[in-house]
Homo-oligomer: A and B are copies of this chain.
Amino acid sequence: MPATAPDDLRTRPVVGVVGAGQLARMMVPAAVELDLELHLLAARADDAAAQVIVATTVGDERGLADLRAISAGVDVLTFDHEHVPTAHLQTLQADGVVVRPGPHALPYATDKSVMRRGLAAAGLPVPAFAVIESPHELAAAVDAVGGWPVVVKTARGGYDGRGVWVAAQPQDAAAAFAARVPVVVEERVEFVRELAAVVARSPSGQAVAYPVVESVQADGICVEVLAPAPGLADATSTAAQRLALDVATTVDCVGILAVELFERPDGTLVVNELAMRPHNTAHWTIEGAVTSQFSNHLRAVLDLPLGSPAARAPVTVMANVLGGERPDVHRALHHVLAHDPALHVHLYGKQVRPGRKIGHVTVTGSDVDDLRRRARHAADYLGGVIDE
């Protein structure tokens, strides 16, 4: 906290945010409510968050000079995305900047080899894996994880299904080596669905776990989130929350941690991916939980007491709006708001490009099938997939 100045007795907390996508943008309502000041480092002046944050600096999110500039006077530095060079964050820490999550934790979200090794060493459930550097090591790695087919991932740089291949033979894995970063070779996990367990954790050790959700995927992208995961056994739900809290402690994450999970046919769980920031699988919390993930992320990094993660409705469904052939999303907005007065629409202020996440919609209620139909209709109409 800054010292109390004689001419201004308020000690309004200041949070620096690196990266100006929709995640930083959705921190704004939470910050306005609690009178927290956001200082943003944006790559471009028209980035989603730069449009709506007064104290925006346009600069290089990976450059030390601009990171230093944005860090001046903040109580804590946090992130819209994890892709900031670790060495720079260590330098900032040495300068006295409070960085949360810290540079010791972030590699678990940016490097799949670090994550797999760290979680395995802590006894947490991950697929059988091997980390290799070249195609010459592939055959041995495939044997080590149980044989073909395998999943092959670049350790760094992938997202939304990019940088991931299912390989039934050596040539299917060839592309993974082009990026010249380590490659993680994993067993292809048999699973019935994908779940996500999202937690918030404070530096003082307080932690809260949101209800466990189902993440419905298409082409490696999350298209819908069902909260809570329909029909999830209580024991599985509790195990997923405990696992996410264990991961948070293991990697010493502060803020929101999203743990993406595979649910196996026998109900056991295995960790797929981690994210250390507000996450798409918890956008439903804005309307569906007592405290949104964005509010709890800001509270956590400031070491303010965390808010209740309890659900506010029996079921909440979120659907992502992916850009399509309809460039003017505001004209489409008229239609979907008239069609469903209980719909919550979130638009990110982004230029429409095919396949780009430009917004999401949320509906709350009790009938998951009805809610999915309504969310799907609105997302498809806004994305230009349907015309009525």
Binding site for B on A (CB under 8 A): 1, 4, 8-13, 25-26, 28-29, 31-35, 37, 51-54, 56, 208, 290-291, 299, 304-308, 310, 312-313, 327-331, 333-334, 337-338, 341-349, 351-352, 359, 364
Contact = CB atoms under 8 A, between A and B. Distances in A.
B12 A349 contact: yes
A332 B28 CA distance: 22
Nearest to A48: B35
A291 B341 contact: yes
B328 A33 contact: no
A378 to B, nearest CB: 12
B10 A351 contact: yes
Given A29-B29, A35-B349, 5 more contacts: A10-B328, A35-B330, A53-B54, A304-B337, A312-B312
B328 A305 contact: no
Contact of A345 (B34, B312, B327, B352): B34
Copies assembled:
2
Given A28-B28, A54-B52, A308 B34 contact: no
Contacts of A9: 327-328, 351-352
4 closest residue pairs by CB, A with B:
A29-B29, A9-B327, A35-B347, A305-B338
A11 B327 CA distance: 10
A76 to B, nearest CB: 14
Contact of A4 (B32, B35, B328, B359): B328
Nearest to A341: B308
Given A29-B29, A291-B341, A338-B305, A34 B312 contact: no
A303 to B, nearest CB: 9
Given A52-B32, A341-B291, A334 B308 contact: no
A296 B328 CA distance: 22
Nearest to A56: B54
The listed residue with most B CB atoms (<10 A of its CB), out of A13, A34, A304, is: A34
Given A51-B54, A54-B53, A328-B10, A333 B4 contact: no
A232 to B, nearest CB: 24
A305 B337 contact: yes
Contact of A330 (B10, B329, B346): B10
B342 A34 contact: no
B29 A308 contact: no
A12 B308 CA distance: 34
A353 B210 CA distance: 38
Contacts of A351: 8-10
A196 B345 CA distance: 28
